[in-house]
Structure 1
Amino acid sequence: MRWPAEWEPHQAVWIGFPGDPAEWPVRLAEAQREVAAFADAIADQGVGEAVILVCRTPADADVARALIETDVQIVVEPFGDIWLRDSAPIFVTGSAGLFGQNFGFNGWGGKYAMAGDQDIGVRLAKRFDLPVGENDWILEGGAIDGDGAGRLITTRQCVLNGNRNVGLSSQQVSERLHDALAVEDICWLGDGLVADHTDGHVDNLARFVAPGVVAIPQAETVDDPNSEIFDNAAQQARSSGLSVVRLPSAGRYEIDGDIAPASYMNFYIGNRVVAVPQYGAANDAKAVDQIAALFPNRKVIGLSSQALLRGGGSFHCISQQIPSI
């Protein structure tokens, strides 16, 4: 069994489409346009990967159809919110083929428990005839990142948080990750970004970009609220034997006067396209250029994620890839 890296070939990707006004009371239409643009970009005129846009209602699906400009499949499956990275299965490959590992989901530590999120992963897997198994502990896909060679990076703040799995030690979690995802080496970082309501998902902080190589932001302004967090993460990653590439930080980013977890690390690596969030921040173009240097065989593009960030995440958070076998 092996958990493929995100840069390995995908047969498809699930993407959540926003539609609930109660969860998106501000700039919903803009968030919908951002997700549609992301889906179109990853489909890449039908030569990227199969993109499956998941809508919670037929009315939301009608909105999506009006926005999509390329060959994207639209399906209706009820869910609470769009963060399929966390509520959908994580797929591994092995001698028996493709297999989804589904984990318990409790609304990011009980903060946002919404109907449909607990079983959306199983329903999607069944809809597409994908085998899936259940793991009896809480884990969100955005809390971990892997390099396809048995290495995983995560944060203690999230995975060892008492609001997920009471009493589990890092050793016990390591054993469970080994059993579910064939993980051999785990790099434990400390905290995630300030104001991240997921309790510090690693996909906003540190991402594998090659086997044994992890990208971590570098603060460039004195008011960056995550400066120390970034530096500590880089030091811990190096101490774990990983090579570290420093990329630009989005800097201090506020929404309605409050710090928001804006991060270029929430990029999605598609078969042909890498989509990098853009926030109207000073380092937007610089982040795209430097991420492009890491993926020379892909088209790396920046796409607006300002409305999506109001919901707490970006492109990586709303997507879950299905590897090719």
Structure 2
Amino acid sequence: MTENYQLIPEWAQQEAVMLVWPDQHTDWQPWLIDVQSVYLKIIQSLNQANTNVVLLVRDGEIKNCLSKLENSSQVLIVKADYNDTWIRDYGFLSCVNASGLQPIEFVFNGWGQKFDAAKDNKINQQVLSQLCQQGIQSVDLVIEGGALEIDQHGTLLSTELCLTNPKRNGAKTIASYQDDFQQFLGAKQSFILGNGHLEGDDTDGHIDTLVRFTPDNGLVIQSAFNRPDDTHFQGLSDLVNECRQVLPTHKIFELPLPHIVNQQGDRLPASYANFLISNQHILCPIYQQTEDKLAMQVIQKAYPDFTIVPINCLPLVQQFGSLHCISMQIPCGILKPEILQSFVTGVSVYE
């Protein structure tokens, strides 16, 4: 692979966001109507941010999906078969160097072999590659997109709990991961955080539920300052302190922690840090909780030049994920010109 490629931060200009349509064949089935409504709201909000949407849909579900979309929506439906809809963790990543842009993919094995991911792991080469100007380069390393956070300076964050799960890459060391992040993602420095985890999180503590960069050397952290008696309080407090130690010049913005359980009484990993940045807009997950207002205020302070768009993600967190987890951004320059042209006429189906 060509040297000096660097992973592009999320606030770079985007031409599209990838989503995968939830249907009755996914784990969303018990909440399907509500979840599809969330997806439609996300699509509408992205289009209002001048962001197109590449929507993967099963062949037999395209007609139904089309009936729910507004004809004027900037959406390209692409036929695909998949295990589930968490494209953040298996969709291609976008890198850049002096010569241009390069989409890359890692191996996806269902968050350490917790779930079947055979179909998801083929999506990039069998489906998405035909949309891109450059072929998608493959890296023989198990890693999920939600496990990576980078800024424009090449500072990368991830979490020890996730990376050291032996069912991802065996006994691979943190130092070895850092070498790979430098080689494949252009990370000039990598900090692998040891603290912080949300109950109910199947990903082993993905960074996108815990800590996010801002463009001006800020850190937005899912804290629990508002819940001193919560079981998460100590771990998330330690996370905040760890971030202060490894990035002492960064300004820290702490998010409140909601307390949400499902009908079975299980704690759900609702994180306000799981927001999506797209073209000067931030799609912010809210959960119909008292903490929603404060969370949006904190995010607005952290990103003063961005428009905050609340999205009710209470249906999404029923499946132990949220807004960032179901999406993957495509920076400008990745897609073929004819793909971009297809968005001009509204909803279309890629043939």
Q: TM-score, normalised by structure 2?
A: 0.87
Mapped contact 2:253–2:298 kept (Cα < 8 A): no
Q: Which runs of 4+ in 1 moved over 6 A?
A: none
Q: Equivalent residue for 1:245? A: 252
The 2-side partners of 1:125 and 1:53 are apart by 11
Residue 80 of structure 2: which of 66, 74, 77 is its match? 77
Note the alpha carbon deviations across 1:187-209, whole angstroms, 9 max, x for none: 22124222201111110111111
Note the alpha carbon deviations across 1:139-179, whole angstroms, 9 max, x for none: 00001111121101111000121121101000001001111
Residue 317 of structure 2: which of 267, 289, 309 is its match? 309
Larger deviation, residues 165-174 vs 293-302? 293-302
Mapped contact 2:223–2:240 kept (Cα < 8 A): no
The 2-side partners of 1:21 and 1:29 are apart by 13
Q: Equivalent residue for 1:48? A: 50
Note the alpha carbon deviations across 1:206-227, whole angstroms, 9 max, x for none: 1111253211123202343322
Q: Equivalent residue for 2:95? A: 92
Q: Equivalent residue for 1:106? A: 109
Q: Equivalent residue for 1:61? A: 62
Q: How does 1:158-177 map to 2 (within 5 A)?
A: 158-177=162-181
1:261 aligns to 2:266 (yes or no): no
When residues 15 and 22 of structure 1 are mapped into structure 2, their CA distance, relative to the original with a 3 A threshold, is closer
Q: How does 1:79-228 map to 2 (within 5 A)?
A: 79-129=82-132, 130-190=134-194, 191-219=196-224, 220-228=226-234
Mapped contact 2:55–2:78 kept (Cα < 8 A): yes
Mapped contact 2:255–2:273 kept (Cα < 8 A): no
Secondary structure of the 2:325 match is coil
When residues 297 and 246 of structure 1 are mapped into structure 2, their CA distance, relative to the original with a 3 A threshold, is closer
The 2-side partners of 1:22 and 1:49 are apart by 26
- Letter in structure 1 aligned against 2:228: V
1:17 aligns to 2:21 (yes or no): yes
Mapped contact 1:90–1:102 kept (Cα < 8 A): yes
Secondary structure of the 2:30 match is coil
Note the alpha carbon deviations across 1:63-105, whole angstroms, 9 max, x for none: 3323333322222211111111101111101133211121011
Q: Equivalent residue for 2:341? A: none
Mapped contact 1:36–1:64 kept (Cα < 8 A): no
Secondary structure of the 1:274 match is strand
Q: CA RMSD of the aligned region, Å? A: 1.7
- Letter in structure 2 aligned against 1:141: G
Mapped contact 2:23–2:29 kept (Cα < 8 A): no
When residues 72 and 314 of structure 1 are mapped into structure 2, their CA distance, relative to the original with a 3 A threshold, is same
Structure 1 residue runs of 5 or longer lacking an equivalent are: none
The 2-side partners of 1:167 and 1:64 are apart by 43
1:235 aligns to 2:260 (yes or no): no
Residue 279 of structure 2: which of 271, 283, 286 is its match? 271
Secondary structure of the 2:168 match is coil
Q: TM-score, normalised by structure 1?
A: 0.93
The 2-side partners of 1:114 and 1:241 are apart by 35
Mapped contact 1:266–1:277 kept (Cα < 8 A): yes
Secondary structure of the 1:51 match is strand
Q: Equivalent residue for 2:337? A: none
Secondary structure of the 1:194 match is coil
Secondary structure of the 2:15 match is strand
**What's the CA shift for 1:244?**
4.2
Q: Percent identity?
A: 27
Secondary structure of the 1:158 match is helix
**What's the CA shift for 1:310?**
1.6
When residues 105 and 117 of structure 1 are mapped into structure 2, their CA distance, relative to the original with a 3 A threshold, is same
The 1-side partners of 2:64 and 2:242 are apart by 45
The 2-side partners of 1:223 and 1:131 are apart by 50
